[in-house]
Amino acid sequence: MLSIKLTDKKFWENNVEAYVFLMKENLDSASDLDSLSKIETEFYPHLKQILKRHKFNGQKGQTYVLTAEKNGKLLQFFFVGLGKLDQAWDRNLEILRRAWASAIQRMKHLSIESAIVALPETEPFKVSSLELLKQLVINSYMANYEFIQFKSNKKDDWNCQLLFDVVDADFTGFTQALEYGKALGSAINTARHWIDLPGNIIHPGTLSEEAQKVAAEYKNLSCTVFGHERAQELGMGSFLSVAKGSEHEGKFVILEYKAADSTAPTIALCGKGVTFDTGGISLKPSSSMDGMKYDMAGAASVIMLMKFFAQLKPNVNVIGITPLVENMPSGRASRQDDIVVAMNGKSIEIKSTDAEGRLILADAMCYAEKFYTPDIIIDIATLTGACAYAVGHLHIALVTRDEDLKAALLASGKLTGDKLWPLPIDDDFVLANNSDVADLANTGARSYGAGTITAACFLESFVNKARWAHLDIASTASDAPGINYLGKGATGASIRALADFIISYGNQDSLMKNLHNTE
């Protein structure tokens, strides 16, 4: 457990076990010199030589720990290098996140029980110190995440009290930033935990129960769950065609957060929730089935975002819709060539039962349009393997025709480190999903290539009035290479960016308010 607090006492007056110093290269910034001289006068008169001897000079990625003793108590000094911070502001922020994450991981390794850190100067990051605090708090949680529930030789839980030094500043603002960071950091880690849980534990039944438990904690959050019977009444032939192959009944989950102001705009988030994707009758080869437990990452992200909004109370109504299914082959499963009809009456030829994400999301988006007429729909899905080729594992693929929405989402990605990258989409791609026998085919024609875009185009035909954006997290939801705070397994991709996007959207002072659809 991490317990994070603010302190307005002077840095050195805090009674902690560890002092963390985020230092620039060459250790020559005013605050670096200050901390060094304090350690020199009280503990190590030859500190500079010691650091030099061990080649610590604040380069990016460096860490160094020194132990001292005061009144019979051990103290630890953690030196963490930030490098020159001479890159673009968003890159500098990412360097800070990773440096802080390495401090967290080293403190965890050493079972540090309490620590303090001062916020760095804001200049290289071009954001406020409130934003820095928020991001470092989120990052503390993310860096601490491990999926170890099933390891019998795991170490005791790490309990640490972390203090952020915010002396002489806007304490109320910092308190809000801290609350934001704690709420989002723990939401991200719960989502990651669900995503990491395997398909024998997380299935439509258990995940829908988790959603209900989340909603039960908050007055401003309601949850509706229904199964096959109601889905049939609603005409969700597309959703049901995927669900029916499994022993686990498909569940359709709707979480509703209502803003206090009844005139607030409405955003619907639709998250793909395939708790395991075998491919169905179009069975995946076993090497491609590896990791298909992650195929509900969109749904887990949406459920935890809804919890976060219930806590943060933005001035925007948010609807979280997660169709939950297990995609299995069986005597009851859909076949290739089957034709099904979605809730909006469009018929779909199933060319591959492995292109199941778009089938369940089609009905989710119809449901959002029919019952909520949202201003904006954003869907989040581990939708296509092609995504890894299009944008790699470090960017979420963004597909939208709405330039303002695109700009706002990219900006949130850039600020939070949850990066997005846009792919092109226009009418020419629409033809790729033509079918000879139905209104649409569920796979894009091979001649068009661009599987990520043609899949997005398929989804677009289930949007009616709303402004819409699609996030393909297939290549970012798990196993992001080279990022220490994402580690192994689930990453929580899209949660930080969407949290920022929606909170800013609901903020009256924000530039984003001109996004509100006033038609």
Residues with catalytic annotation?
284, 358
Residues 469-498 that bind ligand BES (CB under 6 A): 474
Is position 326 an interface residue for ligand BES (rule: CB under 6 A)? Answer: no
**CA–CA distance, 195 with 380 (Å, rounded to integer):** 14
If the CB atoms of residues 25 and 460 are measured against ligand BES, the closer one turns out to be 460
**CA–CA distance, 490 with 501 (Å, rounded to integer):** 21
Count of positions on this chain that bind ligand BES (CB under 6 A): 15
In degrees and rounded to multiples of 5, residue 39 shows phi and psi of: -65, -35
Contact pick of 354, 375, 418, 500 for ligand BES (by CB under 6 A): 354
If the CB atoms of residues 131 and 277 are measured against ligand BES, the closer one turns out to be 277
Residues 227-286 that bind ligand BES (CB under 6 A): 277
Which strands form 440-441's sheet, in the order they lie side by side? 339-341, 347-349, 440-441
End-to-end CA distance of the chain: 48
* Nearest Cα to Cα of residue 210 among 312, 309, 293, 302: 302
Site string for ligand BES, 123-162 (x = CB under 6 A): ----------------------------------------
Q: Strand runs (DSSP E) across 219-277, as ranges? A: 221-226, 251-257, 266-271, 273-277
**CA–CA distance, 473 with 380 (Å, rounded to integer):** 7
**CA–CA distance, 506 with 510 (Å, rounded to integer):** 8
Longest dimension (CA), the chain: 82
Is position 357 an interface residue for ligand BES (rule: CB under 6 A)? Answer: yes
If the CB atoms of residues 173 and 329 are measured against Zn ion, the closer one turns out to be 329
Is position 408 an interface residue for ligand BES (rule: CB under 6 A)? Answer: no
Least separation in angstroms between CB 165 and Zn ion: 46
**CA–CA distance, 270 with 260 (Å, rounded to integer):** 22
Interacting residue ranges for Zn ion, rule: CB under 5 A: 274, 277, 295, 354, 356-357
Question: How many CA atoms are closer than 13 Å to the CA of 270, on its beta-carbon side?
Answer: 31
**8 A C-beta contact, residue 324 and residue 356:** no
**8 A C-beta contact, residue 6 and residue 171:** yes
If the CB atoms of residues 53 and 446 are measured against ligand BES, the closer one turns out to be 446
Least separation in angstroms between CB 285 and ligand BES: 11
If the CB atoms of residues 212 and 352 are measured against ligand BES, the closer one turns out to be 352
What Cα–Cα distance (Å) separates residue 213 from each residue in 208, 221, 236, 275?
9, 11, 25, 18
Is position 386 an interface residue for ligand BES (rule: CB under 6 A)? Answer: yes
Q: Which does 369 bind (CB under 5 to 8 A by kind): Zn ion, ligand BES, none?
A: none
Site string for ligand BES, 201-230 (x = CB under 6 A): ------------------------------
Q: Strand runs (DSSP E) across 220-363, as ranges? A: 221-226, 251-257, 266-271, 273-277, 317-327, 339-341, 347-349
Q: Which does 449 bind (CB under 5 to 8 A by kind): ligand BES, Zn ion, none?
A: none
Which tokens is 156 given? 């005791």
Site string for ligand BES, 423-452 (x = CB under 6 A): --------------------x-------x-
Q: Which does 58 bind (CB under 5 to 8 A by kind): ligand BES, Zn ion, none?
A: none
**CA–CA distance, 262 with 407 (Å, rounded to integer):** 27
What angle separates helix 171-196 from helix 495-506, to the nearest 10 degrees?
140
Q: Which stretch binds ligand BES (CB under 6 A): 123-131, 183-191, 251-259, 355-363?
A: 355-363
Contact pick of 246, 317, 384, 494 for ligand BES (by CB under 6 A): 384
Q: Which does 450 bind (CB under 5 to 8 A by kind): ligand BES, Zn ion, none?
A: none
**Residues lying near ligand BES in the complex (CB under 6 A):** 277, 295, 352, 354-357, 382-386, 443, 451, 474
